[in-house]
């Protein structure tokens, strides 16, 4: 029963968010506004999104090469897209587990090293989103945002930057500290060698990353999120919403921070409520704001899920084709 508690709680959160939205909007007006979207802007936005995910694939490939120099960019991209698609259709961010454990043979690295790349990826994504939000808050004229929100973003940006710097600069010290805590808290017979190996592999990524490589990865992260922000402004233009690029970027930030909260697969409800709240601050009429949230989520979900499904099945087909036959030869 316990294993169903978190998915059930997430589903309840999503249901509550959806109810809070639909009780204050006109479904017919939302449907009308969504149906009237200009396809040309959506196509441009999808192209920008695709370029953003190409950059994400290249960024993850750069990280994985620190553990396996022979890994291909093609395999990396397919595993990454399969993981993002799984997050859209499965609970508990199962796509992250798929990337770390499901295709170890394809990636040619240990699961603990893959987990380390995901940790670094999340830190870079969090810092990039916060930095973009902070920049647009300062220069984008977002005066209707509460002052406390601006201060919170400032604090979180500095905290995230500090965490990245500490992890990169003191990787060896962090490893020794964690191993000391492990030795102190658990007898050797109880902890086993796998946990020690996991700590070593995870911290080794941060130890091996040079400052210039860290700056490069950060630049790639900012570029990927900037391209995704273009989808948000394209969706606004498709729905005839006159919102600035700064507000579209804030919608991007809010929608992605909604993924932190437990919800149903695909972040249904929490994503929509977050984007809706930002557009209300921007002065957009509630029904149009709801239509925008539905449209942007639909484009993101369908595009990423379709691309990820294709990537996943291509990986499975390749895995089957390379299985050894009964004579030990590769089929």
What is the Cα–Cα distance from 15 to 9, expressed in whole angstroms?
10
Which residue, among 63, 66, 59, 75, has the nearest Cα to 128 in the 3D structure? 59
Residues forming beta bridges with residue 324, ordered by sequence position: 330
Contacts of 200 (CB under 8 A, 6+ apart): 175, 179
Is the per-residue pLDDT at 155 higher than 60? yes
pLDDT of residue 262: 64
What percentage of the chain has pLDDT greater than the value 90?
61
What percentage of the chain has pLDDT greater than the value 70?
93
pLDDT of residue 138: 86
pLDDT of residue 179: 84
Between 262 and 325, name the one with better pLDDT. 262
What is the Cα–Cα distance from 122 to 127, expressed in whole angstroms?
8
Is the per-residue pLDDT at 249 higher than 90? yes
Residues forming beta bridges with residue 330, ordered by sequence position: 324
pLDDT of residue 331: 37
> Which region among 89-93, 296-300, 304-308 has the lowest average model confidence (pLDDT)?
89-93
Is the per-residue pLDDT at 308 higher than 90? yes
> Which region among 28-42, 152-166, 201-215 has the lowest average model confidence (pLDDT)?
201-215
Please give the mean pLDDT across all residues of the chain.
89
Between 185 and 243, name the one with better pLDDT. 243
pLDDT of residue 6: 66
Region of residue 166 (left: phi > 0; alpha: psi -120 to 50; beta: else): alpha
Local confidence band at 195 (pLDDT 50, 70, 90 cut-offs): confident
pLDDT of residue 324: 55
């Amino acid at each position: 029963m316990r294993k169903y508690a978190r998915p059930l709680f997430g589903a309840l959160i999503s249901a509550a968010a959806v109810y809070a939205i639909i009780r204050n909007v006109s479904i017919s007006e939302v449907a009308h506004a969504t149906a009237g979207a200009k396809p040309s802007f959506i196509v441009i936005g999808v192209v920008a999104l695709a370029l953003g995910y190409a950059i994400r694939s290249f960024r993850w490939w750069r990280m994985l090469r620190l553990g396996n120099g022979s890994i291909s960019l093609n395999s990396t991209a397919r595993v990454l897209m399969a993981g993002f698609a799984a997050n859209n259709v499965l609970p508990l961010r199962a796509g992250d587990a798929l990337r770390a454990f499901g295709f170890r043979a394809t990636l040619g690295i240990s699961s603990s090293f893959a987990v380390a790349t995901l940790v670094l990826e999340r830190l870079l994504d969090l810092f990039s989103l916060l930095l973009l939000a902070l920049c647009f808050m300062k220069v984008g004229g977002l005066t209707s945002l509460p002052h406390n929100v601006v201060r919170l973003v400032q604090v979180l940006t500095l905290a995230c930057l500090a965490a990245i710097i500490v992890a990169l600069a003191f990787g060896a010290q962090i490893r020794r500290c964690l191993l000391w805590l492990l030795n102190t808290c658990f007898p050797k017979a109880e902890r086993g060698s796998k946990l020690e190996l996991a700590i070593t592999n995870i911290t080794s990524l941060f130890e091996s990353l040079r400052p210039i490589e860290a700056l490069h990865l950060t630049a790639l992260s900012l570029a990927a999120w900037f391209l995704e922000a273009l989808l948000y402004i394209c969706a606004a233009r498709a729905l005839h919403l006159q919102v600035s690029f700064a507000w579209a970027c804030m919608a991007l930030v809010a929608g992605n921070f909604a993924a932190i909260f437990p919800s149903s697969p695909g972040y249904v409800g929490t994503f929509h409520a977050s984007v809706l709240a930002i557009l209300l601050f921007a002065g957009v009429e509630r029904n149009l704001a709801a239509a925008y949230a539905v449209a942007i989520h639909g484009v993101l979900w369908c595009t990423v899920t379709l691309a990820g499904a294709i990537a996943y099945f291509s990986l499975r087909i390749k895995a089957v084709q390379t299985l050894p036959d009964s004579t030990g030869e590769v089929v």
